[in-house]
Each structure stands twice: as structure tokens, then as C-alpha cells.
Amino acid sequence: MTRQKILITGASSGLGAGMARAFAAQGRDLALCARRVERLEELKAEILDKHPYAKVAIAALDVDDHEAIPRVFNELSEELGGIDRVIVNAGIGKGWPLGQGKPWANKATINTNLISGMVQIETALEMFHKAGGGHLVLISSVLGNTGVPGGKAAYCASKAGMTSLGESLRAEYDKGPIRITVIEPGYIESEMTAKSATTLLMVDNETGVRAMVAAIEKEKGRAVVPSWPWAPLTQIMRLLPPKYTKRFA
């Protein structure tokens, strides 16, 4: 099934912008939202320059404004004439070692990546129930499979929570017109990973996004991307003693 009308949150940069470009190249209609609307305007202009007949709707959205999520989703849906796929992508990578006096950084990460993600999930599923179907995609992380010491502890916890929500939804919607996909990216070049101290197995944005889009299009229940080497690595990560997970910090 071709999902023609795709909504992507956190679309102003990184993986969100990369997916927008890739889907536009496939002739899909796009509903893009993010906090930085000026970035969205630049992305829209770039896409229309390459694909003049593309349909691109944009809207400012801070996903931490939970009351705004249903309003913005529905406005974008009305502009495009419906939404077939929602990609819950918006996220942040703030963090500080627990117990060292900066709980606000960890609270922000848990709130944006998990709580705000859950509100997006609620809104998307309500839309799909009314429309009679749709494809919900949750962007998690390979780090949701383990804990990492230091400043990434809250990030790992938030992504573990997102993966768990996705697995629960996969069980609930194992059959029928609503499909659920959990995507677990490895280290892919983006604004978020640029702040990371590690370049372990990092792939460029284009390669990573290509793998993400391919998995999304297949509507797999759960996919680690790029599959090599991250699919076997995630199995190992689940078994590693905690002292060794610092290699992924």
C-alpha cells in the first residue's frame, strides 16, 4: 500500500528533514511540523524547487505544547485532505549525569521524547480510527535496548519507553487497517549526533535516511537501521554487562 500523505514531526532538520526529502522524491504529499518554522519554510522551498508539483504543508509545532498537537495535526490533515502515515520523530538529546544537580535536562528529554511522543501517538491513532486506517511510525533508537552511563541515561530511558509503547501497540493492532512500525536508528549524522562524543559506527545522513525510509515503506513491525551492523549489535547490547555500555556513550 502506498501511503501518499505523510505527516512528520521534528521535520526542520536531521532525520526528519532527510525523510521529508526522500518521500518528496517519491512523489508523496507532506505535512511537516517543527518548532523552527523558518527552517520548515526553507525545506519547503528546497523541495518545491526540485519537485515543483509536490504538495507540502508546514506548521509550527512545539510537541511539548500538548494541547497544540491535535490542533496542528488536524489542520495539516485538512490542508492535505487526510493523513495516511504519521511519523513521530520529534526528539531531543539533552542530558546530564543523574545526581549531579541538573535534573531539568533529564526531565526535558523524558518529557519531549516520551510524554510528548505519547500525545502524538494518541492524536494519530484517533485520526486513523476516524479515517478507517493509517500507518503509525515511532522513531526510537538502538540505545533503547540498553542503558548508557552519564549524560545519556535519560535519553536511553526515553527511547526504551518509546519502543515499549510501540511493542504494546503492535500487539494491539496486530491485524487490521492500522499498522504500527518501530524504527530504531543506529548512529546517523544529524544535529543531535553532532553533539555526541562518539563517532562509533556513524553513517552519513543520506545512507541512514535511505535505510529508515526503506524500512518504513515495508511497514515492518520493528526495524533496526542500518541493519548492518546494528541489527546484530543490538542483540549484543542487551546482553552486555553495564560496565561495557559506556562504549556507546
* Residues taking part in catalysis: 155
Amino acid, single-letter form, for residue 174? D
Residues 156 and 197: beta-carbon distance below 8 Å: no
Cell numbers given for 174: 496486530
Bridge partner list, 34:
60
Nearest C-alpha neighbor of 138 from the set 160, 109, 153, 108? 160
Other CB atoms within 10 Å distance of the CB of residue 120: 25
Q: What Å distances lie between residue 98 and 102, 106, 153, 155, CA to CA?
A: 8, 8, 8, 12
